[in-house]
């Protein structure tokens, strides 16, 4: 089982996604545990404020160091020992290779960014692995945290109905996933390729390999 500890300013963003589909099943099967921690609980401010203006001026607000340090210290006092991820647009690109790395862990802490960013002492003092899910800026790190949890959970044995499913998906190897079809055989003039109806498993495998290569070349040439 993997335990995800998520430090966030908005824990109410998570229950809907975590309670449905693959993530909901994985939680009910005891494959993952997701613990949501409200960063405001460790605020030094009577009003539970966690941000302040940057020294030197500039737009936006920064997350102060005290609540983050206090939260991490509390987690460590409760026995936390594992990978520490900080969601940031300038971090390491999160990809399938990193998802596979994380799937081998037993405990992962994810700190969700917000506002203009973090006081730099949070980065330097707590030794995070900074992770980005793409070359764009989000309003907060909560969607990124959910992406990481979802991608990692799919790789845990038993999380998907078919144990071979993760092996055949896009990014599991060097190519994207081949096209797939289901019923009806013909729809609005579009038909299922005959090879998929042939029952010839060797021919089907070859077709899928060729289509996967073709799709990969087309998409990566853009």
User: Tens of pLDDT along 197-208?
Assistant: 999 999 999 999
Collect all residues with Cβ–Cβ distance below 8 Å to 211 and sequence separation of at least 6: 178, 179
Q: Within this chain, do residues 147 and 43 fall inside the same structural domain, yes or no?
A: yes
* Interatomic CA distance for residues 69 and 42, integer angstroms: 9
CB 148 within 8 A of CB 94: yes
* Residue ending a domain, choose from 121, 153, 185: 153
pLDDT of residue 184: 96
Q: How many residues does the chain have?
A: 222
Report the share of the chain in percent with pLDDT over 70. 95
* Structural domain contains residue 163: no
Q: Band of the pLDDT at 166, cuts 50, 70, 90?
A: low
Q: Band of the pLDDT at 163, cuts 50, 70, 90?
A: low
* Structural domain contains residue 73: yes
Residue 108 — φ and ψ, nearest 5°?
Answer: -135, 130
Q: Is the pLDDT of residue 222 over 60?
A: yes
* Structural domain contains residue 165: no
* Interatomic CA distance for residues 182 and 196, integer angstroms: 10
Q: Within this chain, do residues 182 and 213 fall inside the same structural domain, yes or no?
A: yes
Q: Within this chain, do residues 112 and 204 fall inside the same structural domain, yes or no?
A: no
* Structural domain contains residue 193: yes
Residue from 154, 129, 127 nearest 2 by CA: 154
To the nearest whole number, what is the mean pLDDT of the chain?
A: 93
pLDDT of residue 114: 86
Can you give the CATH number for the domain in which 52 is found?
Answer: 3.40.1280.10
Tens of pLDDT along 169-208?
Answer: 555 567 899 999 999 999 999 999 999 999 999 999 999 9
* Interatomic CA distance for residues 89 and 135, integer angstroms: 7
Query: How many domains, in total, are found in the chain?
Result: 2
Tens of pLDDT along 60-99?
Answer: 999 999 999 999 999 999 999 999 999 998 899 999 999 9
Alpha-carbon distance values, 4 to 117, 147, 189 (Å): 22, 12, 47
Q: Within this chain, do residues 179 and 135 fall inside the same structural domain, yes or no?
A: no
pLDDT of residue 221: 80
Number of C-beta neighbours around residue 191 at 10 A: 11
* Interatomic CA distance for residues 71 and 122, integer angstroms: 12
Q: Within this chain, do residues 143 and 38 fall inside the same structural domain, yes or no?
A: yes
219's tokens: 């998409």
Full domain range(s) for residue 91? 2-153
How many Cα atoms occupy the beta-carbon half-sphere of 52 within 13 Å? 13
pLDDT of residue 161: 73
Q: Band of the pLDDT at 115, cuts 50, 70, 90?
A: confident
Q: Is the pLDDT of residue 104 over 90?
A: yes
Tens of pLDDT along 17-47?
Answer: 999 999 999 999 999 999 999 999 999 999 9
pLDDT of residue 108: 98
Instruction: Please give the helix or strand (H or E) that residue 39 lies within, else none.
Output: none
Number of C-beta neighbours around residue 34 at 10 A: 23
CB 192 within 8 A of CB 185: yes
pLDDT of residue 116: 83
Alpha-carbon distance values, 97 to 103, 148, 152 (Å): 10, 12, 10
């Amino acid at each position: 089982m993997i335990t995800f500890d998520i430090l966030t300013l908005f824990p109410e963003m998570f229950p809907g996604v975590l309670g449905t589909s693959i993530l909901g099943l994985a939680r009910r099967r005891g494959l993952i545990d997701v613990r949501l921690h409200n960063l405001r609980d460790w605020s030094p401010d009577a009003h539970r404020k966690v941000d302040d203006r940057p020294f030197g001026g500039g737009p936006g607000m920064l997350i102060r160091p005290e609540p983050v340090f206090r939260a991490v210290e509390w987690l460590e006092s409760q026995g936390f020992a594992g990978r520490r991820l900080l969601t940031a647009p300038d971090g390491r690109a999160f990809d399938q290779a990193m998802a596979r790395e994380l799937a081998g862990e037993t405990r992962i802490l994810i700190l969700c960014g917000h506002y203009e960013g973090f006081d730099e002492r949070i980065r330097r003092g707590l030794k995070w692995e900074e992770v980005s899910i793409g070359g764009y800026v989000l309003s907060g790190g909560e969607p990124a945290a959910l992406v990481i949890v979802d991608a990692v959970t799919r790789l845990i044995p038993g999380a998907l109905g078919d144990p071979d499913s993760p092996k055949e998906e896009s990014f599991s190897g060097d190519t994207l996933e081949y096209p797939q079809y289901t019923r009806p055989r013909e729809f609005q003039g579009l038909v299922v390729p005959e090879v998929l109806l042939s029952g010839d498993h060797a021919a089907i495998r070859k077709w899928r390999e060729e289509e996967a290569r073709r799709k990969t070349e087309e998409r990566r040439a853009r």
